[in-house]
Amino acid sequence: MKEIYSTSPISGKTYSVPRDSKLDELNSFINSNKKRKIVAVQGLGFVGTAMSLVVANSDKDEYAVVGIDQSSEHSYWKIEDINNGICPISSSDPLISEYYKNAHMKGNFYATSEPKAFSYADVIIIDINLDVSKFKDKNGDIETFDVPLEGFKSAIKSIGNNCKEDVLILVETTVPPGTCKKIVYPILVESLKLRGLSIDKFKLGHSYERVMPGPNYINSIKNFYRVYSGIDDESADAVEMFLRTVISTDEYPLTRLKTTESTEMAKVLENSYRAMNISFAIEWSRFAENSGLNLYEVVDAIRLRPTHSNLMYPGIGVGGYCLTKDPLMASWASKEFFGLESGLQSSVKAVENNDKMPMFCFDFVSNILKSHDKETTSIGLLGVAYGPGIGDTRFSPVEDFYNRLSAHFDNIKCQDPFVPIWTELNLEIETCLETFLVNSFDILIVTTGHRDYLNNDFIYELIGRSSKEMIIIDTVGLLDLHKLPTHFYQNKNFYVLGVGHYEK
Amino acid sequence: MKEIYSTSPISGKTYSVPRDSKLDELNSFINSNKKRKIVAVQGLGFVGTAMSLVVANSDKDEYAVVGIDQSSEHSYWKIEDINNGICPISSSDPLISEYYKNAHMKGNFYATSEPKAFSYADVIIIDINLDVSKFKDKNGDIETFDVPLEGFKSAIKSIGNNCKEDVLILVETTVPPGTCKKIVYPILVESLKLRGLSIDKFKLGHSYERVMPGPNYINSIKNFYRVYSGIDDESADAVEMFLRTVISTDEYPLTRLKTTESTEMAKVLENSYRAMNISFAIEWSRFAENSGLNLYEVVDAIRLRPTHSNLMYPGIGVGGYCLTKDPLMASWASKEFFGLESGLQSSVKAVENNDKMPMFCFDFVSNILKSHDKETTSIGLLGVAYGPGIGDTRFSPVEDFYNRLSAHFDNIKCQDPFVPIWTELNLEIETCLETFLVNSFDILIVTTGHRDYLNNDFIYELIGRSSKEMIIIDTVGLLDLHKLPTHFYQNKNFYVLGVGHYEK
């Protein structure tokens, strides 16, 4: 059999994926945590890992957490990193590494690929991904989309084949409304029956996270409002009891909804709403650029109105795991599970619009380059993560933008303080801003609004050292014109998406 | 010549529209206000009248206000009402009549149809309507739309032909972005030139109101944020000086934008955003009804999240003068004035969706009636205004809903505490709830969310007195099931739009 290797983008270490799953280690972890309840977290992604850290650091220290992920090239490094004292998340939130260190020191956080871990668990939290497949035409319009449930179903089966009969199973994964009752529950019942166990004792609930993997990563779980439900009252009660022990529910009261469909819907509705608000900004960006207005100024003026405070700025696009798929998931469920023939057209359209933002951004940049009559040989991109303050590059709009740029230009370099390796493109990324800006670029494009870039205004000093001919294009409205060296506006070398050429 | 009559929906009085415009009265008003500056307000609609009241009640009592409207069947009654001590607005805001009484007593508010009034004015505020014509196909899809500017242009000409050369002209009307510079300014310059006056002395600015004609009607002008601009710095300064004397700008700081296009855009962007948020709720209502979920419960859970606090509830539809046209006006301007070929498709779609809400509501009601196997002979509608707490029926979604209903049912009665006469349909409306509910209805439909209905829970008592067979359909989520007599849920006789059959 061929050896499989898995490389950590955090530590850079490469691990050989073992054939056996180190059951001894798992057993010894369970034994050394006899005084704690066992919580299994299925899926060590951006949600599951952070949730594991929050549970392992609960106020009364009552839980030991076993994180479970696949022993694949893509995921195995997380298991090794976690067990070897390396925090598997790079984040601008210092609590992430603090929580990790604390759990590692206490010895109540262990990771494995062994499904047998479920058999020890009092609580199982499902944080695996559930993706949506989109099929687009050449204009970027969405032709069809689907929610392939096979992977999700086998993950549930793996729980059903191993769990205790009185376990509490808490689904945190964003799922099509209806999934807990129509997919998860029947699979669990069938598996438990086959094992000759009672099917009346397990509890099944749904409570979605509102993780923001930025500077308030941990607090977006621990100190934030939660909505929850259960398939019956006992399940809802059990979910509530558990959440009270890990989340600051006194300050952020829990909201119980009557059915799991309701909380499942709340999650996708919430994200669809956000996706639509972003989509709304797109065509107004074009309008502003066409009419020579500063859309940032206009949005700021409107935001003073409390009912309009969350109006969005223009930008390079929407990324991340949720907003790019949740509206589609909702529409899919409305058709497949509840027979709403039309689906949710506006919500689907919002995703389609948002997905086109990098294309508009590329056109914006192209037009600027055309208007400057000189050859472009080197381009620098500041930021590749999908949003400010995070190291998450999943579905980053910068990826589409980069691909479009690289079809026309050879010499493109990228910098991001939180992304040492851009896994999707298999690119090494410069994390040090100063080192990066020593390069001489014809065009410098700000592609992620990392606040870190603005620390102590160092970026303006660095930009001041570079070529006076350099053109700066800010696609996210990060830079302050008043702090840029004067020659940038004298030479008309500073542009902002949603504004056009930026004047004092 | 045929006599024209104009009837006040407020006082019920009918006035004969005179052929002359009572110049003597105007002159005597001006003479008796020699110590005050003259502010002319063009257009005595829901904005102009309220703005007049606010200006006439400024803190330092420095203004006398001449309201100007047409001597037409539709408008003349306002002029007579105002001059005869009758407040021309019915509102749930007690400040409206208080401000009116105060101004009438002081003698600093007069109304006329005489354009000569402009010649006395130090400040002219433009509050006339600017409509959008929509042309729809039989499915309710918008085929084309237009912004006919002729009426608006002649109104500006009428000012230019009469005004002082150093007047401050403040446009409050919602206009297509670009209008102040491309339409208003050239007309004023031409008129002043023709009159041999200086064209460098007048000031022209734009500042949009955010009037909410409900219980905080006056405060939505006097105590709220304002955005303003001028065609040059002197104009912007003059607008600022004026606004400071009539609005509480210490508590609600003014925002100056660089160009009139920017404030014009801010207004239509702001309303398009709201229209889109409402449109968003529509398809989720259908989803909720299809899946048996309570969308109100879901929205409440999401609204706890500060970034999502303005998520909209489902409802019968959007009405009023602004949200039904502003997004179209914006799209029109983006094409006509700034060459954006695509226009603003999402914003147009939002209006289209919103306009269809009464149709969905009618289908919702029809399906309920079909499911109850009995003849419907009498229907009662609670509320005809377009929103809670207001007497404004312009573009009320209840109108479309009523028309659809009346195509199938003969005996429909309406009630609204703020609308004695439904002018659009020329219907007398019962204002007293108790009198109305003495009628025995087969179906009672709540069509406007007037909070007044809930005062002291009297409505539940009244409903309790009516037939036990009555079906109640709440299209705006106003009623509380727990307060309705128990037989309504026992008999499954209570339905809510965005929920379906409503159970405890």
Contact A304 B225 (CB under 8 A): yes
Are the beta carbons of A290 and B339 separated by less than 8 Å?
yes
Residue B385 reports pLDDT greater than 70: yes
- Beta-carbon contacts of B382 under 8 Å, excluding residues fewer than 6 positions away, are B415, B416, B433, B436, B444, B445, B446, B447, B448, B450, B453
- Contact yes or no for B293 and A259 at CB 8 A: yes
Cα A362–chain centre separation: 23
Cβ–Cβ < 8 Å for B92, B215? yes
Provide mean pLDDT across the span A105-129: 97
Contact between chains at B280 and A273 (C-beta distance less than 8 A): yes
Which of B284, B290, B308 has the CB atom closest to A339's CB atom?
Answer: B290
Interval A35-51 mean pLDDT: 97
| Mean model confidence pLDDT for chain A | 93
Task: Among A175, A298, A312, A499, pick the best mutation site for testing chain B contact (most B Cβ within 10 A).
Answer: A298
pLDDT in tens, A149-179: 999 999 999 999 999 999 999 999 999 999 9
Q: Is ipTM beyond 0.90?
A: no
- Chain B positions touching A304 (Cβ under 8 A) are 225, 255
Measured in angstroms, the CA of A441 and the nearest CA of chain B are apart by 32
**Residue B2 — very low, low, confident or very high, per pLDDT cuts 50/70/90?**
confident
pLDDT tens digits along B205-262:
999 999 988 889 999 999 999 999 999 999 999 999 999 999 999 999 999 999 999 9
**pLDDT score recorded for residue A108:** 98
Phi/psi of residue A308, each to 5°? -120, 20
What integer pLDDT is reported at residue B504 of this predicted model? 61
How many pairs of residues across A and B have Cβ atoms under 8 Å apart? 169
pLDDT score, position B28: 97
Q: Which residues of B touch A180 (CB under 8 A)?
A: none
User: Looking at the DSSP assignment, which residues form a beta bridge with residue A265?
Assistant: none
Chain B nearest CA to A290, separation (Å): 6
- List, in sequence order, every beta strand (DSSP E) within A113-260: 123-126, 133-136, 142-146, 168-171, 203-207, 226-230, 254-256
Looking at the complex, report in whole angstroms how far the Cα of residue B363 sits from the nearest Cα belonging to chain A.
Answer: 15
Q: Do B291 and A338 touch (CB under 8 A)?
A: yes
Mapped onto helix, strand or coil, the DSSP state of residue A244 is helix
The DSSP letter of residue B482 is G
Smallest Cα distance from A245 to chain B, Å: 21
The distance of A283 to chain B (nearest Cα, Å) reads 6
Burial of B108 (C-beta count, 10 Å sphere; 0-12/13-18/19+): buried
Q: How confident is the model at residue A207 (pLDDT cuts 50, 70, 90)?
A: very high
User: Quick one: pLDDT band at residue A20, thresholds 50, 70, 90?
Assistant: confident
In this prediction, residue B336 carries a pLDDT of 94
Mean pLDDT of chain B: 93
Residues B456-467: pLDDT tens digits? 788 998 888 888
Quote the minimal CA–CA distance from A243 to chain B in Å.
16
Chain B CB contacts of A210 below 8 Å: 305
Q: Lowest-pLDDT range, A104-108, B122-126, B356-360? A: B356-360
With CB atoms and an 8 Å threshold, state whether B294 touches A262.
Answer: yes
Q: What is the torsional sign of CA A245, A248, A251, A253? A: negative
B284-341: per-residue pLDDT in tens? 998 998 888 899 999 999 998 888 888 888 889 888 778 889 999 999 999 999 999 9
Choose from A276, A346, A353, A359 for mutation: most chain B CBs within 10 A: A346
Q: With bands split at pLDDT 50, 70 and 90, how would you rate the model's confidence at B30?
A: very high
Helices assigned H by DSSP within A59-107? 76-83, 94-106
Is it the case that residue A338 has pLDDT exceeding 80? yes
CA distance B106 to A420: 73
Neighbours of B248 (CB within 10 A): 13
Residue given tokens 């021309």 in the structure block: B88
The verdict on a CB contact (< 8 Å) between B307 and A178 is: no
Q: Which residues of A touch B249 (CB under 8 A)?
A: none
Q: In the predicted model, what is the mean pLDDT of residues A356-378?
A: 88
pLDDT of residue A504: 61
Mean pLDDT over residues B161-181, rounded?
97
pLDDT digits (tens, 9 = 90+) for B119-156: 999 999 999 999 999 999 988 899 999 999 999 999 99
The pairing of beta strand B133-136 with beta strand B123-126? unpaired
Q: What is the mean pLDDT of residues A201-224?
A: 94
Q: Which residues of A touch B294 (CB under 8 A)?
A: 258, 262
Tokens 């294309």: give the residue. A359
Check residue A254 and give its pLDDT: 96
Whether A261 and B225 lie within 8 Å, measured CB to CB: no
Least confident of A139-143, A188-192, A428-432: A139-143
Q: Please judge whether A349 and B349 are an interchain contact, meaning their C-beta atoms are less than 8 angstroms apart.
A: yes
- In this complex, do B293 and A265 lie within 8 Å of one another by their Cβ atoms? yes
Per-residue model confidence (pLDDT) at position A65: 98
pLDDT of residue A467: 81
Query: Is the Cβ pair B349, A353 closer than 8 Å?
Result: no
H helices present in A143-259, as ranges: 150-160, 179, 185-194, 219-222, 233-246
Which of A197-201, A286-290, B200-204 is predicted least confidently? Answer: A286-290
Pairwise CB contact (< 8 Å): B258 & A297? yes
pLDDT at B492 exceeding the cut of 90: no
- Choose between B155 and B451: higher pLDDT: B155
- Give, in degrees to the nearest 5, the angle at Cα B42 between B189 and B275: 100
**Nearest CA distance, B249 vs chain A (angstrom):** 13
Mutate to test the interface with B, among A287, A305, A322 (most CBs of B within 10 A): A287
Q: At residue B299, what are phi and psi to the nearest 5 degrees? A: -65, -40
Which is more confident, A176 or A317? A176
Contacts of A286 in chain B (CB under 8 A): 334, 340, 342
DSSP string, A425-436: GTEE-B--HHHH
Q: Do B293 and A262 touch (CB under 8 A)?
A: yes
Nearest by CB to B273, from A259, A280, A294: name it. A280
**pTM value?**
0.89
Contact assignment for B342 to A283 by CB distance below 8 Å: yes
Q: What is the pLDDT of residue B310?
A: 85
Nearest to B276 by CA among A284, A475, A294: A284
pLDDT recorded at residue A317: 87
Chain A environment of B223 (Cβ under 8 Å): none
pLDDT of residue B1 exceeding 80 = no
> B13: left (phi > 0), else alpha (psi -120 to 50), else beta?
beta
Would you state the pLDDT for residue A214?
82
